Amino acid sequence: MTLEGKSVAVLIAPRGTEEPEFSKPKQAIEEAGGKVTVVSFEAGVARTVNSDLDEGDSYTIDKTFSDVKADDFDGLVVPGGTVGADKLRGSAEAIDFIRAFFDQKKPVAAICHAPWTLIEAGVLKGRTLTSYPTLKVDIENAGATWTDEEVVVDNGLVTSRDPDDLPAFCAKLVEQIAEGAGAGPAAAN
């Protein structure tokens, strides 16, 4: 699958986003020929984490939430990390940005704790997805069905449980973005 000509936003929350859940999808998109824009709260450099506690690598933030809109992209990746997902779901700008991808029926990929942001955005009702197991009740309370699978695709929404699932997660997110906006998730109101 090629992502030539496709632009994908990958979110990062400084000192909170899980390193492999950020770097592996970014790498998969770039290797498929897509353009990645790293989006965060403020300009500069953000450091990821490993296992929520240990310092990861540093990445340049390309744009802030106030600089971008979903119209600019063909897809969105929301990496996990307990702290990172919590920081993102606490930001109205981040949640509005995420929700706009659903409103525009564009592919969204969320791994591990990232579905917390989808709960906050109010876009899970009637969907089937997976996540880190401790989010099961949160997801069910949001009106979705939780399943314990390596990767789940529900109308353009790609979800996985944890870093062990990254190969399947990356393959499916590239596939969904390559298929285009028609494959994207429908907004659930």
What average pLDDT does the segment 113-138 reach?
98
Catalytic residue among 6, 26, 87, 113: 113
Q: What does the pLDDT read at residue 189?
A: 43
Q: What does the pLDDT read at residue 18?
A: 97
| 187 lies in some domain | no
| 185 lies in some domain | no
| 109 lies in some domain | yes
Question: Range of 75's domain?
Answer: 7-178
| 186 lies in some domain | no
Query: 40-71: per-residue pLDDT in tens?
Result: 999 999 999 999 999 999 999 999 999 999 99
The alpha carbon of residue 156 and the mean position of all alpha carbons in its chain are separated, in whole angstroms, by 12
In this prediction, residue 186 has a pLDDT band, given cuts at 50, 70 and 90, of low
| 189 lies in some domain | no
Active site residue 170: no
For the chain, how many structural domains are there in total? 1
Q: What does the pLDDT read at residue 57?
A: 97
| 120 lies in some domain | yes
Distances (CA, A) of 120 to 22, 97, 161: 20, 12, 18
The CATH number covering residue 49 comes to 3.40.50.880
Active site residue 112: yes
Catalytic residue among 112, 151, 152, 178: 112
| 19 lies in some domain | yes
What average pLDDT does the segment 145-161 reach?
97
Average pLDDT along the chain:
95
| 103 lies in some domain | yes
